[in-house]
Chain A
Amino acid sequence: MTSEGKDNRADEKGVEALVALKRFEQPDPFLETRLLAALRSRLAHTAPGLAWHERLLEWLTAGPVPAVTVAALTLTVGGALFYWAHWKGAARAPGEVAVSRSETVQTNIASAAPAEDLEAESIAEIREVPYQKPVFVFEFPSNREPIGPVRMGPTAVPVRYDF
Chain B
Amino acid sequence: MKGPSQPGAETTLSPPDDELVALARGGRYEAFEELVRRYQRRIYSLVYNMTGHREDAEDLLQEIFIKAYRSLDRFKGDSSFFTWLYRIAVNHTINFLKKRKRTEHDFSFDVMDPAAEFDPVFRHLKARESPVREVTLIELQKKLNAALRKLSDKHRTVVVLHDIQGLPHEEIGRIMKCSVGTIRSRLFYARKILQKELAEFAP
- With beta carbons under 8 angstroms apart, the residue of B48, B98, B115 that contacts A27 is B48
CB neighbours of B91 from chain A (8 A):
62, 64
Provide the residues of chain B in CB contact with A32, threshold 8 Å. Answer: 37, 40-41
> Are the C-beta atoms of A21 and B69 separated by less than 8 Å?
no
Q: What's the least CB distance linking A131 to chain B, in Å?
A: 73
- Bound Cα distance A35, B70 (Å): 16
Is the CB–CB distance between A22 and B49 below 8 Å? Answer: yes
Say how far A147's CB is from chain B's closest CB, in angstroms.
70
In the complex, the answer to whether B48 meets A35 with C-beta atoms within 8 Å is no
Assess whether A17 is in contact with B113, with CB atoms less than 8 Å apart: no
The answer for the CA separation of A28 and B58 in the assembled complex, in Å, is 10
User: Chain A nearest CB: distance from B159 CB in Å?
Assistant: 6
B70–A50 touching, CB < 8 Å = yes
Chain A, interface residues (CB within 8 Å), range: 35 or more
Q: Once the chains are docked, how many angstroms separate the CA of A65 from the CA of B98?
A: 9
Bound complex: CA of A25 vs CA of B164, how far in Å?
11
Chain A residues positioned under 8 Å from B58 (CB to CB): 28, 31, 34-35
Q: With A19-B164, A20-B163 known to touch, is A39 a contact of B33 (CB < 8 Å)?
A: yes
When distances are taken between beta carbons in the complex, the residues of chain A under 8 Å from B109 are: 25
Q: Beta-carbon contacts of A13-30 to B below 8 Å, as 1s and 0s?
A: 011111111111111100
Interfacial residues, chain B to chain A (CB-CB below 8 A): 24-25, 27, 29, 32-33, 36-37, 40-41, 44-45, 48-49, 54, 58, 61-62, 65-66, 69-73, 91, 94-95, 98, 109-113, 115-116, 119, 121-122, 140-141, 144-145, 148, 159, 163-165, 188, 191, 194-195, 198, 201-203
Chain A: residues with CB nearer than 8 A to chain B? Answer: 10-12, 14-28, 31-32, 34-36, 38-40, 42-44, 47-50, 54, 62, 64, 66
